[in-house]
Structure 1
Amino acid sequence: MVTKGERTRRRIVERAAPVFNTRGYFGASMGDLVRETGLEKGGIYNHFGSKEELALAAFDYSVGVMSERFDEALEGRMGTLEKLLAVVGVLGGMAEDPPVRGGCPVLNTAIEADDAHRALKERARGAATDWLRLVGSIVKEGVASGELEGGTDPRKVASVVVATLEGALMLSKLNDDPAHMERAVEHLEEYLRSLSRPDAGSAQAGRGS
């Protein structure tokens, strides 16, 4: 059973996440957090020992929302190409529908915390690594099943997909123009289709029989 304290803690995290994701760790003041959560400073510190602890929890929450999106997008997807395009769709959708107000939490945190906040940088690195592994594992399965060309490198494909979409997200946000993301998604869809074997459909059917 969820306790009142746990509910309050979660509410603080949910309301603090957009503050950190929009203003950054150093730009977000306790006044901003007090205003957003509706709690006094002491009330926040009753649940979190420091601003850093709250920022880390808020980042974990934001990444968790992204994980839920991946799970929903991949649910029921059978083919390798279908799964890869679903992942592209989730990451590509962040330009106009971010998981938390302010954009991609991994991109925002990686840029701000690069040389300034080691703990947040490690969190961002871990989340990015999880995304790379997700794409790489799908590609690896596709090669093993015969749906993708045998020489396809899972790590290379993962790097190309994640880096292209995160870079496009940065340009879209910087220029207030989602066209950068739209072009990136279109390019990646063509790229991923080019990796599929011509007989991929029959290979998948054979697996399911």
Structure 2
Amino acid sequence: MDGRLARGARTRVAILRRATDIASVEGLEGLTIGRLATELSLSKSSVFAHFGSKEELQLAAIEHAEEVFSEHVVRPGLAAPAGLPRLLALAEHWLAYSRSRAFPGGCFFAGVLPEFDAREGRVHDAVLAGRTKWIALLTGLVAAAAERGELPEGVDPDQLAFEIDALASAANTQSVLTGSDVAYERAAAGIRARLTPRP
């Protein structure tokens, strides 16, 4: 039984890896149980047994993508020293994550956000929850750096977090579209400029 459970876990991970790769390029609506079964040489019943419905598959894909994002961005970023170094590290790891094509379509969430931003339902709520956590993390790190006197006096953490996220997201979109890494350099320069205290 332990062997079956281990094989089942490996199969589930393989399905989710392929699902998130597809969704990063084609969106979550591009996911179907039949397509994944064909591409991974599995039976439809095998894929269905893991997820049960397209919506459950989409939700599981979001959860898997969040774990990949945490592995590439959040955990290494938070390992940096507190204050401004941690904020800079988080932004740098975000740009490196997109640049490395952890997902073929760049940032998974940059791809699926426009797909579900105006919809209702569990998938929209899951995307929104992930987005909310990310912005809250950025905002908290900006506030912490400001409290340490490492940012210009009077900085608005919500505004600065918005600008950092906007620069990173724009770099992802531009690079995926053009195949050039120049946008990452521009985003990095813009972020550093916004985080540099004025004399």
TM-score by length of 2: 0.86
- Partner SS, residue 36 of structure 2: helix
- Partner SS, residue 64 of structure 1: helix
Residue 187 (structure 2) aligns with: 184
Residue 77 (structure 2) aligns with: 73
Q: CA deviation at 1:129?
A: 1.6
Q: CA deviation at 1:116?
A: 4.8
Q: 1:81·1:193 contact (CA, 8 Å) conserved in 2?
A: no
How many residues end up aligned between the 2 structures?
195
CA distance in 2, matches of 1:36, 1:74: 36
Q: CA deviation at 1:109?
A: 0.7
Deviations along 1:50-87, whole A, 9 cap, x unmatched? Answer: 02211210111111111122212331x22422111111
Structure 2 residue corresponding to 1:96, chosen from 79, 96, 99 = 99
Structure 2 residue corresponding to 1:18, chosen from 17, 21, 43 = 21
Structure 2 residue corresponding to 1:130, chosen from 108, 133, 136 = 133
Query: Which sections of structure 1, spanning at least 5 residues, go unmatched?
Result: 199-209
CA distance in 1, matches of 2:121, 2:188: 32
Q: 1:143·1:149 contact (CA, 8 Å) conserved in 2?
A: yes
Q: CA deviation at 1:112?
A: 1.7
| Structure 1 stretch displaced more, 100-109 or 172-181 | 172-181
Structure 2 residue corresponding to 1:28, chosen from 16, 26, 31 = 31
Residue 202 (structure 1) aligns with: none
Residue 160 (structure 1) aligns with: 163
Q: 1:109·1:120 contact (CA, 8 Å) conserved in 2?
A: no
CA distance in 2, matches of 1:80, 1:136: 12
Structure 2 residue corresponding to 1:142, chosen from 140, 145, 161 = 145
Residue 109 (structure 1) aligns with: 112
Q: CA deviation at 1:173?
A: 1.4
RMSD: 2.2
- Partner SS, residue 18 of structure 1: helix
- Partner SS, residue 147 of structure 2: helix
| Structure 1 stretch displaced more, 149-158 or 93-102 | 93-102
CA distance in 2, matches of 1:155, 1:11: 38
Q: 2:83·2:141 contact (CA, 8 Å) conserved in 1?
A: yes
Q: CA deviation at 1:92?
A: 1.3
CA distance in 2, matches of 1:28, 1:43: 15
Q: CA deviation at 1:188?
A: 0.8
Q: CA deviation at 1:146?
A: 2.5
Q: Quote the sequence identity (%).
A: 30
CA distance in 1, matches of 2:117, 2:139: 24
Q: CA deviation at 1:159?
A: 0.5
CA distance in 2, matches of 1:148, 1:116: 37
